[in-house]
Structure 1
Amino acid sequence: MTENSISSDRNRADALIREGRYEEAIEIYRRLTEARPEEDSHLLTREGFHPLASEAFTKAVAAEPENPRFLLHLAASYTARDLVDLAAAALRRAEVLTGSAFGKPRPAAG
């Protein structure tokens, strides 16, 4: 997918949502997340498609298991769905990777 086609697909999906054509928009978002899961998962979250966002962030974590950012976004998508145990597990994994529950390294003790 080129940047132009991605942008065009995003615009089309946004228009479909405004028209209430959610199933068609979901299919476009699903195709976009398969091409670029880490970036387009945010679109799903923004539009309230939290189950699809969880699925996309899970794929992003599988592709880059050492990336705490993806784990934090996965936790947020789980939280939006009231899946507290799964959100906590994702946060614990991010904490193990970074030494902080917020996905940022803790400052060195001085």
Structure 2
Amino acid sequence: MYRLQFKMSSLLPRIAVVILLVCCLEATCAFVCQPDFCSTVDCAQFPTEKTCKGELVPNSSLCGCCSTCHIHIEEGGDCSVLLHSVLGPPLETSYHCAHNLRCIDGKCVQD
């Protein structure tokens, strides 16, 4: 009679993938904004109309609790700072190429 045998070494990669997927799912669920989350956030460190040197966007921080400042970079301006916004921690101030401009090779240029 033919018996199917599983080797433990062939199961380990599959088990590892399942564990990794479960961990990713848990991490994703951890970022859900709870209804009372904003009551725990201190918006004092965020920009105000007086301190923002760009466009103050209300309720645009994480979970929409505080205002953030969007600074528009004009054509030809250095937009390499955009990389810092993506790689770094969430910022109170973000940089964007002005309307109809895109960041290409570190400069804001026409679309």
By the TM > 0.5 criterion, same fold? no
Using structure 2 for the length normalisation, give the TM-score: 0.24
Q: Which has the larger radius of gyration?
A: 2
Using structure 1 for the length normalisation, give the TM-score: 0.24
Bigger relative contact order, structure 1 or 2, given CA contacts below 8 A and separation 6+?
2
